[in-house]
């Protein structure tokens, strides 16, 4: 497509009505992200990080502002159009993995392709490939209950990648993981970024997780208050020897 930014948000606002009160979760966010960037979004709890991610991932619709995703205006799409955009352009990784229970890793990864109408053999091939890419080529038939937290999150990453999305969005992907597995997942993300030029946006409130990205955006009270280039990102996995 165009050589323009993958993401271009201008004056994005999001407000929630809770009871009688109108709550402004995002108050004018401008954010531009180019192809191949690895961005960490940080900020205190309740600052609006997840709200921003949900908008970025077309899971929700901004109350105001304009959002261009890969050149398409997605600010005002209806539910089905957003579902289509999610399926075609976005891979989403959640803090809580969000895998289908009692369903094999392979079938979990196949899911987005199933909603694209990909024939089942092709689906299976690509899902197996994606699982191999995240180092789970030997766990195709394991259900989430038969996998560790780190492995589950890798299945979720494989599911996000199987559609070959324009961006990978990860909302606190290591929030439910211990230090060792956190490093594992970060290493995987860094490899995907370095080797395949994947555009990654990752929410985290942990400094040493954010340090692995190449750019750190800080959100506070629904606004972007800092946006720094990180000239020398930390290499994930280095911590493993230390602690």
Ligand X SMILES: Nc1ncnc2c1ncn2[C@@H]1O[C@H](COP(=O)(O)OP(=O)(O)O)[C@@H](O)[C@H]1O
Per CB under 6 A, residues contacting ligand X are 16, 18, 23, 25, 43, 45-51
Q: Contact at 8 Å (CB) between 130 and 155?
A: no
Q: Nearest approach, Cβ of 7 to ligand X (angstroms)? A: 17
Distances (CA, A) of 187 to 122, 193, 209, 210: 28, 10, 11, 13
Check residue 51 for interaction with Mg ion (CB under 5 A).
no
Check residue 111 for interaction with another protein (CB under 8 A).
yes
47 versus 199: smaller Cβ distance to ligand X: 47
| Collapsed DSSP state (helix, strand, coil) of residue 220 | strand
111 binds, among another protein, ligand X, Mg ion, none (CB under 5 to 8 A by kind): another protein
Q: Nearest approach, Cβ of 79 to another protein (angstroms)? A: 6
Could you tell me where the DSSP H helices lie in the chain? 49-56, 79-89, 105-114, 120-133, 149-161, 179-196, 207-210, 238-242
114 versus 132: smaller Cβ distance to another protein: 114
Check residue 50 for interaction with Mg ion (CB under 5 A).
yes
What is the C-alpha to C-alpha distance for residues 137 and 154, in angstroms, rounded to an integer? Answer: 11
99 versus 219: smaller Cβ distance to another protein: 99
113 versus 203: smaller Cβ distance to Mg ion: 203
């Amino acid at each position: 497509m165009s050589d323009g930014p993958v993401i271009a948000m201008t004056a994005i606002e999001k407000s929630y009505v809770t009871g009688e009160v109108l709550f402004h979760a995002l108050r004018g966010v401008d954010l531009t992200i180019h192809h191949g960037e690895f961005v960490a979004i940080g900020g205190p709890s309740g600052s609006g990080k997840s709200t921003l991610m949900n908008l970025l991932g077309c899971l929700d619709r901004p109350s105001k502002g304009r959002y261009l995703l890969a050149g398409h205006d997605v600010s005002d799409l209806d539910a089905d159009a957003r579902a289509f955009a999610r399926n075609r352009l976005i891979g989403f990784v959640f803090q809580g993995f969000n895998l289908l229970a009692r369903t094999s890793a392979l079938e979990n990864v196949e899911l987005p392709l199933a909603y694209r109408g990909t024939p089942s053999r092709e689906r299976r091939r690509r899902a197996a490939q994606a699982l191999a890419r995240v180092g789970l080529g030997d766990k195709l038939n394991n259900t989430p209950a038969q996998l560790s937290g780190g492995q589950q999150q890798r299945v979720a990453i494989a599911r996000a990648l199987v559609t070959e999305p324009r961006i990978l969005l990860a909302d606190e992907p290591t929030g439910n993981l211990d230090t060792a597995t956190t490093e594992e997942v970060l290493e995987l993300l860094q490899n995907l970024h370095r080797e395949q030029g994947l555009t990654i946006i990752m929410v985290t409130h942990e400094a040493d997780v954010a340090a692995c990205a190449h750019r750190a955006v800080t959100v506070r009270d629904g606004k972007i208050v800092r946006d720094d280039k990180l000239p020398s990102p930390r290499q994930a996995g280095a911590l493993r020897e230390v602690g």
